[in-house]
Amino acid sequence: MRAYRFRAYSSKTTARVLKTQLEVACKLYNALLHLEQEEYRKNKHSMSRNELRQLALDLRMRNPEFQVLHSQVAQQVAERFYQARQRFFDRLVNYPREKKPHRYLSLVYPQSGWRLSNMG
- Is residue 59's pLDDT more than 90? yes
In a domain, 56, yes or no: yes
In a domain, 95, yes or no: yes
In a domain, 13, yes or no: no
- Is residue 69's pLDDT more than 60? yes
pTM score:
0.84
Chain centre distance of CA 2 = 23
In a domain, 34, yes or no: yes
Domain with 68, as residue range(s), is 18-103
**Where is 34: in which H helix or E strand?**
helix 12-43
Between helix 12-43 and helix 71-89 the angle, nearest 10°, is: 50
In a domain, 12, yes or no: no
The answer to whether the beta carbons of residues 37 and 30 sit under 8 Å apart is no
Tens digits of residue pLDDT in 75-86: 999 999 999 999
In a domain, 69, yes or no: yes
Whole-number pLDDT of residue 114: 63
Average pLDDT score over residue span 97-111: 87
Total structural domains in the chain? Answer: 1
